[in-house]
């Protein structure tokens, strides 16, 4: 990739939900997370300028986003998204925060510039830490049926001098959503963004 982005491993996780205790849905929900574990170039020291790192991470973000789009059957099938970072304990929260722009920008570009902000979660933690990542509708964040989450994490990552970056996408809202609010088909213009 680059001098600042050295990948140790990548992973792709998918899950398909047919029901949540109610009737089996005609259209199962598929959720997917694409993950990369990289060396943290700033582990154990303070770096004032993280902008070059954030810029170089865009290529990784694009690769992960493209992998998810292929996995889910094309960008027209993607309805929810999110991103996450888990920084090893020799790093700092800001080393994960670079993913807000790098991962979010890449995902929105690959998906054709959807309107809603990309939600996120991040932490500094030990290897094996698991994180619930919130997702919402890509064109209007306040579509209640699409509020959901997916777990990300790997047993051996991040090691103390690493960072785990994930992007998450899914094909729809919760399979048994029935709590009202703004519906996907009712969104007009910038409605539902607030």
> d(Cα 145, Cα 91) in Å, to the nearest integer?
36
> Mean pLDDT score of the chain, rounded to an integer?
95
0.85 cut: is pTM over it?
yes
Of the pLDDT bands very low, low, confident and very high (cuts 50, 70, 90), residue 194 is low
Burial class for 73, CB neighbours closer than 10 Å (0-12, 13-18, 19+):
exposed
Is the pLDDT reported for residue 1 higher than 70? Answer: no
132-186 pLDDT, tens digit each? 999 999 999 999 999 999 999 999 999 999 999 999 999 999 999 999 998 888 8
> d(Cα 181, Cα 23) in Å, to the nearest integer?
22
Q: Are 136 and 116 in contact (CB under 8 A)?
A: yes
**Which CATH superfamily does the domain covering 1-18+55-167 fall into?**
BB2672 (3.30.1330.110)
């Amino acid at each position: 990739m680059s001098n600042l982005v050295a990948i140790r491993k990548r992973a792709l996780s998918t899950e398909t939900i047919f029901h949540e205790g109610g009737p089996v849905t005609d259209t199962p929900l598929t959720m997917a997370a694409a993950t990369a574990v990289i060396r943290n170039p700033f582990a154990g020291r303070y770096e004032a300028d993280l902008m070059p790192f954030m810029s170089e991470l865009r290529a990784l973000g694009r690769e992960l986003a493209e992998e998810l789009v292929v996995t889910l059957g094309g960008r027209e099938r993607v309805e929810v998204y999110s991103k996450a970072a888990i920084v090893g304990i020799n790093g700092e929260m800001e080393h994960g925060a670079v993913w807000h722009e790098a991962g979010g920008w890449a995902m929105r570009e690959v998906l054709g510039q959807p309107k809603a902000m990309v939600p996120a979660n991040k932490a500094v933690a030990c290897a094996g830490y698991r994180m619930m990542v919130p997702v919402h509708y890509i064109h209007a964040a306040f579509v209640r049926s699409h509020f959901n989450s997916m777990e990300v994490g790997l047993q051996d990552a991040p090691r103390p001098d690493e960072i785990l970056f994930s992007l998450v996408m899914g094909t729809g809202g919760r399979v048994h959503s029935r709590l009202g609010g703004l519906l996907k088909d009712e969104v007009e213009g910038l409605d539902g963004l607030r």
